[in-house]
């Protein structure tokens, strides 16, 4: 589950999930829900694999969202399905989606960057929570 919250000229994503993998998938869906008006219109017709390694969960989440944003900016790909495996500070993901189509998906916000401000990933008694702020 993810929710959006306003933060000055930025927008925040707040996630809670029972596993770290679900948390990262929810963060990705949250990011793309900021970019397009109707994420449900995105069809899983192409597949992309990602491998990342970082220093800790916070930075891994930052790098993950940053990589997805870079892929959107450079290739106009939007993803809606995520299979994620996290092992320590490493992430492997298979993402499915399609090329952005303004007529079908609609544009909501232009996300300029993922920020470090307020970034946190925290283990909870019932799972995981995270917050990240995106510059719009």
Give me the pLDDT at residue 36, please: 94
pTM for this prediction: 0.91
Number of domains, the chain: 1
- Structural domain that includes position 118: 2-135
**Is 33:79 a contact under the CB 8 Å cutoff?**
no
DSSP string, 36-86: BS-GGG----EEEEEEEE-SSHHHHHHHHHHHHHHHHHHH-EEEEEEEEEE
Of residues 106 and 70, the one with the higher pLDDT is 70
Confidence of residue 109 (pLDDT cuts 50, 70, 90): confident
Q: What is the mean pLDDT of the chain?
A: 93
Q: Say which residues have a Cβ less than 8 Å from residue 111's Cβ, sequence separation at least 6.
A: 31, 34, 35, 69, 134, 135, 136
**CATH number of the structural domain spanning residue 103:** 3.55.10.10
- Residue count of the chain, please give it: 136
């Amino acid at each position: 589950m993810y929710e959006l919250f306003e933060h000055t000229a930025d927008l925040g994503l707040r996630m809670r999930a029972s596993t770290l993998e679900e948390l990262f998938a929810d963060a990705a869906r949250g990011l793309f829900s900021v970019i397009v008006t109707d994420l449900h219109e995105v069809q899983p017709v192409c597949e992309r694999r990602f491998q990342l390694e970082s220093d800790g969960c916070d930075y891994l989440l930052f790098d993950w969202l940053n990589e997805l944003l870079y892929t959107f900016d450079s290739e106009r790909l939007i993803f809606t399905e995520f299979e994620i495996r996290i092992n320590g500070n490493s992430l492997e993901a298979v993402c499915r989606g399609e090329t952005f189509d303004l007529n079908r998906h609609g544009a909501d916000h232009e996300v300029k960057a993922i920020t470090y401000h307020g970034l946190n990933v925290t283990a909870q008694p019932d799972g995981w929570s995270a917050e990240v702020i995106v510059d719009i």
